[in-house]
Amino acid sequence: MTLSIQPEEQRSVTVRAPAKINLHLGVGRPTSDGFHPLDTVFQAVGLYDDVRASDGDGSVTVETASYLPLGVLPDHADNIVSHAARLLAATAAEGTELPPADLLVEKRIPVAGGMAGGSADAAATLVALDRLWDLDTSDEVLLDLGGRLGSDVPFSLLGGTAHGTGRGELLQALPDGHTWWWVVVPSPEGLSTPSVYRRFDEMFPDAPESPASSHAVLSALSSRVPDRLAAALHNDLEAPALDLRPELGDLIARGEADGALRGMVSGSGPTVVFLCENGDHARALADGLQDDDLPVVLVANGPVSGAHVL
Ligand code: C5P
């Protein structure tokens, strides 16, 4: 009899997590912890990062889509996916064997773009490693770990359309049966979120304690009328982002002159998004905007699912 020893199959789990747009971003005066109270409405849109976790030796590799400028990503130890892996591992019962895992991040969401790309990577890592390690972590614990990694990570897990308060991590899912169409224009160079919040503090030292309410966006969403949502879109970080990058104002004006229902900075920027009537309108606007100065113009719709296994 001949015994053949089969090599152990390398297991892997791939998780896809979406970018977000803030349809409303009301920002209040910072509290004693330095964070700003938010009243925000997130929408997950169909632009994704994937994280593949596989049996390995603990390496982290980042592959960036060819259309994205090569942003400087933190090295291994500082990368948010490594933080996510350590945080999840720390929740495992004592004595549980957690084999080292390799993480491959495939980035398509603009880096430092105001679309929660880093948060998507953290959310995808939590879900991928939870599956690879068979931890069966509850949604509640995953959301809590997400909130510790970054204010937008819980939303990357949840997806859809949601109302966010606190730092943006306290979420309530919203019914949103319409498909909204966006043109997304990344910038060649990212903006750091803390620097935009700092500029906000300098420009608005008397910002109200309570952030502006999102009720206009909530009622526009339930109307399902793109013109109504266009009129209700609101971003308190737009003024500081435009102050740091005045050329974004020209881009918004150009998209609106070309027929966008409304253009705005996404979150803390510098990505600019344009709301369109429907898919045909978005594709036509994107075609018109794309030129030598704007080589990358994307079309995405929302809402879409949060982090999910492929
Ligand atoms: O939570 P996250 O890591 O995404 O936040 C990045 C930075 O953005 C924080 O360190 C803080 O400077 C700023 N921030 C804030 N108020 C919020 C969210 C973020 O001031 N609600």
- pLDDT of 26 strictly over 90: yes
Q: How far apart are CA 57 and CA 308, in angstroms?
A: 24
Ligand 1 pocket residue status of 197, Cβ below 6 Å: yes
Q: How far apart are CA 301 and CA 282, in angstroms?
A: 9
Q: What is the pLDDT of residues 213-222, one digit of tens each?
A: 999 999 999 9
- Pairing outcome for strands 101-107 and 38-55: antiparallel
**Ligand 1 centre and the CA of 201: distance in Å?**
13
pLDDT at 72 over 60: no
* Domain presence at residue 159: yes
Is this structure's pTM higher than 0.90? yes
For residue 66, is it within any domain? yes
Overall number of domains in the chain: 1
Position 78 in a domain: yes
What is the residue type of 148? R
Name residues whose C-beta falls within 8 Å of residue 126's C-beta, 6 or more positions apart in sequence.
84, 87, 88, 137, 142, 145, 146, 149, 153, 157, 307
pLDDT confidence band for 70 (50 / 70 / 90): low
Residue 157 lies in a domain: yes
> Looking at residues 193-211, what average pLDDT do you find?
97
Per DSSP, which regions of 134-261 are E strands?
A: 161-165, 170-174, 180-185, 234-235
pLDDT at 98: 93
What's the pLDDT score for residue 75?
A: 59
Residue 258: give its domain's CATH number: 3.30.230.10
> Does 7 reside within a domain?
no
Asked if pLDDT for residue 76 goes beyond 90, the answer is: no
On whether residue 237 sits in a domain, the answer given is yes
* Residue 192 pLDDT greater than 60, yes or no: yes
What is the span of the domain harbouring residue 124?
A: 12-310
Percent of the chain with pLDDT over 70: 95
Residue 194 lies in a domain: yes
Confidence of residue 66 (pLDDT cuts 50, 70, 90): confident
Nearest CA to ligand 1 atom 8: 194
Average pLDDT on 174-192 reads 96
Catalytic residue at 136? no
Q: What is the whole-number distance in angstroms between the Cα of residue 274 and the centre of ligand 1?
A: 24
Distance CA(275)–CA(255), nearest Å, equals 10
Per-residue confidence (pLDDT) for residue 36, from 0 to 100? 98
Q: Is 111 a domain residue?
A: yes
pLDDT at 5: 64
Identify whether 152 is a catalytic site residue.
yes
